[in-house]
Chain A
Amino acid sequence: MLTYTIRRLLLSIPTLIFIAFVIFMLLELAPGDPMASMPLSIPPEVRQQMREALGLGEPWWIRFPLWLNQFFIVEPQYWIDNAFGTNFADGAQRIISFQSRSPVFDVIAQRLPQTLWVVAMSYVVGVLIALPIGIISAYKQYSVFDNAGTFVSMIGFSVPPFFSGVLLIVIFSVQLQWLPSIYDTTLVVNSWETFKTQLLQMIMPVMVLALQTTAQVSRYMRASMLDNLSQDYVRTARAKGMSESVVVLKHVLRNSMIPVVTVIALGIPSIFGGAIITEQIFKVNGLGQLLIIALQGSDIPMVMTITFLLAVLIVMMNLIADVLYGILDPRIRYD
């Protein structure tokens, strides 16, 4: 298992470099120009100087290794310096945003908590709702509950977040006026009152994202439970006189969770993608909104870094899912 993990980790390095190259070349080949929004009255030679000041004067085969160096060596050095007060970085050039002229990672660090709060909460809530639905749907297959669960997950698959979010705002913020429609990120939670406000403003974005997760995970849970419920070991367990709850919740559930856990791990990157839209609806100033603003301003370093971080997340989650599968299911051997 350890050798497999190490091999996969080593293999993910060329994968990540290739992905970085694809994103870099897409941004490079694209005809969009970061100077396009500058006034037309700037003379061409000044424009050229401005391009060089942004680091765009060099050809791509120099800038790409430079970016890799900044991302993989310089930025971690600054990180360590900040954490332990050392001086590895020694004033090396960091990745600078074109728009704000501040280091990209500082901006991301400011935005990350908002996204993580909403995304992580919604994922936990979604999974917690999905698991019991999947278990009951499978145990009582074709019952009213099962059909209702199927219908709800169909809706979760079909209603896009930009409509379910807007619908929730219309119902709960406009008509009933129970919940705020805008997520206030400046709120500091330090008392019971602010905690309640925070809870209220989180309900809608979390539920919108959770609906998508619930739809997917509950389907997998149901299918996996159905696979296991018809196995011979279930009959053996019942024949031994075990109670129904022990059979279902101990024997069947444990075996059914193996594929579901990997699905849960694999779904984490896509929920970040969904957060791009949800943040736009509820005006959360998180990573997704940062990406949209950076895109509109042709802020290439910012777009590159955020997209690549998402790619790192995907590759890591794929790896974790595969390793988890091997750990949870002793029948699977990769060596």
Chain B
Amino acid sequence: MTDATVAKEAIEKPRNQWLDVWDQFRTHKGAVFGLGFLIFITLFVTIGPWLWQVDPGKLDIRNKDVRPIYMLLFDSDAKVNWANPMGTDNLGRDIMANIMQGGRISLAVGWTAMILAVFLGTLIGVLAGYFRRLDGLLMRFTDLVLSLPLLPLLLVMMLLFRDPLRAAFGPENGIFILIVVGIGITSWMQTARIVRGDVMALKEREFVLAARSIGTPPRRMITRHILPNVLSPIMVSATLGLATAIITESALSFLGLGFPSDFPTWGKILFDSVDRMTAFPERVLWPGLAISLTVLAVNYIGDGLRDALDPRIRGL
């Protein structure tokens, strides 16, 4: 090696791995749009209620059935009101405030359920992949859960455990816990399978052998050497998990088995508006668009992450 190349290598700064991932992520246009929209909708539902200080539950019966302001474009006589830009429902509640409040719940349920599912999936996947004795048992269990009809079982759980949990934790928290746990324990299986496969492949690598040869105990082995290396499949399945969790929560609310009626979520607002959609189609559109665009954004982020985290594609 000549002196010139040594000098050249010394100049190039070592780059953070996550910077490389971010650079690759930025080349995926859909993923960047998705991330932008997710940040926007998150700010909309978190900071929105601070700026738009209208109580979502406040009844204003004189101002009921107000159409959204864009209706002025088609029909100058439409009942619109600048105080309610998205319109009001049949009880005069402001729809924009409801969408914000509902989005808070929907996103909170989605994130918590996703974290629970990813935690369970990673735990079971790592245990099954690392400890050979547990592998057969845990994977048979995963296969069994995969062959359960999950949506009907989730509906059964919602209906049967609703009242006791409500009594124990209050109407809102009880249902929140029920939905999060329900979605979490019915959607960890894919993560577990992927993580198990990756852990089994990692276990045969030299660095794991080296770590074991200096006497690393299994606990530290998993946290220091295995987990950081399976982080990318976990992150990708986390984004997919977030998307399914939001859709499942909305589906439960849509079937009338989710949160109580005075407690808006996107699915619940959609469900409540279906009866009047012939006269007021916009009430269906707002929550439906919110759900669909959020899930679309999350799916695109997952797509971009998958490319960005794959070292074979990165840097091309």
CB of B144 within 8 A of CB of A157, answer no
Pick from A166, A174, A273: contact of B288, CB below 8 A.
Answer: A166
**How far apart are B110's CB and chain A's nearest CB, in angstroms?**
13
CB of B149 within 8 A of CB of A314, answer yes
CB of B149 within 8 A of CB of A160, answer no
Query: Inside 8 A of B41's CB, which chain A residues have their CB?
Result: none
In the complex, A306→B153 CA distance in Å?
Answer: 11
B89-97, B118-126, B188-196, B289-297 - interface stretch: B289-297
Q: How does the 8 Å CB contact mask read for A290-321 relative to B, with 1 for contact and 0 for none?
A: 01100110100001001100110011001000
Q: Does B113 contact A (CB under 8 A)?
A: no
CB of A157 within 8 A of CB of B291, answer no
**How far apart are B199's CB and chain A's nearest CB, in angstroms?**
24
Q: Does B6 contact A (CB under 8 A)?
A: no
Query: Inside 8 A of B136's CB, which chain A residues have their CB?
Result: none
Query: Inside 8 A of A311's CB, which chain B residues have their CB?
Result: 147-149
Q: Does A169 contact B (CB under 8 A)?
A: yes
With contacts defined as CB atoms under 8 Å apart, how many contacts are there between chain A and chain B in the complex?
123
**How far apart are B308's CB and chain A's nearest CB, in angstroms?**
17
CB of A30 within 8 A of CB of B160, answer yes
CB of B157 within 8 A of CB of A310, answer no
In the complex, A318→B144 CA distance in Å?
Answer: 11
Pick from A19, A158, A314: contact of B243, CB below 8 A.
Answer: A158
The main secondary structure of chain A at its interface with chain B is helix
**How far apart are B243's CB and chain A's nearest CB, in angstroms?**
7
**How far apart are B95's CB and chain A's nearest CB, in angstroms?**
16
CB of B277 within 8 A of CB of A170, answer yes
Q: Does A66 contact B (CB under 8 A)?
A: no
In the complex, A276→B156 CA distance in Å?
Answer: 13
A20-28, A93-101, A226-234 - interface stretch: A20-28
Q: How does the 8 Å CB contact mask read for A145-157 relative to B, with 1 for contact and 0 for none?
A: 0000000001101
Q: Does B36 contact A (CB under 8 A)?
A: no
Query: Inside 8 A of A170's CB, which chain B residues have their CB?
Result: 277, 281, 284-285
**How far apart are B245's CB and chain A's nearest CB, in angstroms?**
12
Q: Does B270 contact A (CB under 8 A)?
A: yes
Q: A160-B250, A163-B292 are in contact. Are A310 and B152 (CB under 8 A)?
A: yes
Query: Inside 8 A of B295's CB, which chain A residues have their CB?
Result: 157-160
Q: Does B247 contact A (CB under 8 A)?
A: yes
Closest residue of chain B to A22 (Cβ to Cβ) is B148
Query: Inside 8 A of B155's CB, which chain A residues have their CB?
Result: 276, 291-292, 295
CB of A277 within 8 A of CB of B254, answer yes
CB of B159 within 8 A of CB of A295, answer yes
**How far apart are A300's CB and chain B's nearest CB, in angstroms?**
10
CB of B152 within 8 A of CB of A273, answer yes
In the complex, A280→B267 CA distance in Å?
Answer: 14
Q: A167-B288, A277-B254 are in contact. Are A154 and B160 (CB under 8 A)?
A: no
Q: A269-B149, A315-B147 are in contact. Are A158 and B292 (CB under 8 A)?
A: yes
**How far apart are A212's CB and chain B's nearest CB, in angstroms?**
11
CB of A163 within 8 A of CB of B288, answer yes
CB of B277 within 8 A of CB of A166, answer yes
**How far apart are B74's CB and chain A's nearest CB, in angstroms?**
12
Residue count of chain A within 8 Å CB distance of chain B: 43
The main secondary structure of chain B at its interface with chain A is helix
Q: Does B24 contact A (CB under 8 A)?
A: no
In the complex, A30→B243 CA distance in Å?
Answer: 29
Closest residue of chain B to A162 (Cβ to Cβ) is B254
CB of B156 within 8 A of CB of A19, answer no
CB of A295 within 8 A of CB of B250, answer no
Give chain A interface residues in 7-54, CB to chain B under 8 Å: 15, 18-19, 22-23, 26-27, 30-32
In the complex, A99→B281 CA distance in Å?
Answer: 36
CB of B292 within 8 A of CB of A15, answer no
Query: Inside 8 A of B164's CB, which chain A residues have their CB?
Result: 31
In the complex, A303→B299 CA distance in Å?
Answer: 33
**How far apart are B89's CB and chain A's nearest CB, in angstroms?**
16
Give chain B interface residues in 117-135, CB to chain A under 8 Å: none
Give chain B interface residues in 261-288, CB to chain A under 8 Å: 267, 270-271, 274, 277-278, 281, 284-285, 288
Given contacts A26-B156, A163-B291, A295-B156, 15 further A-B contacts (CB under 8 A): A18-B144, A23-B156, A26-B153, A154-B299, A154-B303, A158-B292, A158-B293, A162-B270, A273-B150, A295-B257, A296-B159, A303-B152, A303-B156, A306-B152, A307-B153
26 A-B pairs (CB sep. < 8 Å): A23-B148, A27-B160, A30-B157, A30-B160, A30-B161, A32-B159, A32-B160, A157-B243, A159-B292, A162-B267, A163-B291, A166-B270, A166-B288, A167-B288, A174-B281, A273-B152, A277-B254, A291-B152, A295-B155, A295-B257, A298-B159, A307-B152, A311-B147, A311-B149, A314-B147, A315-B147
Chain B contact residues, CB within 8 Å of chain A: 30, 144, 147-153, 155-157, 159-161, 163-164, 243, 247, 250-251, 254-255, 257, 267, 270-271, 274, 277-278, 281, 284-285, 288, 291-293, 295-296, 299-300, 303
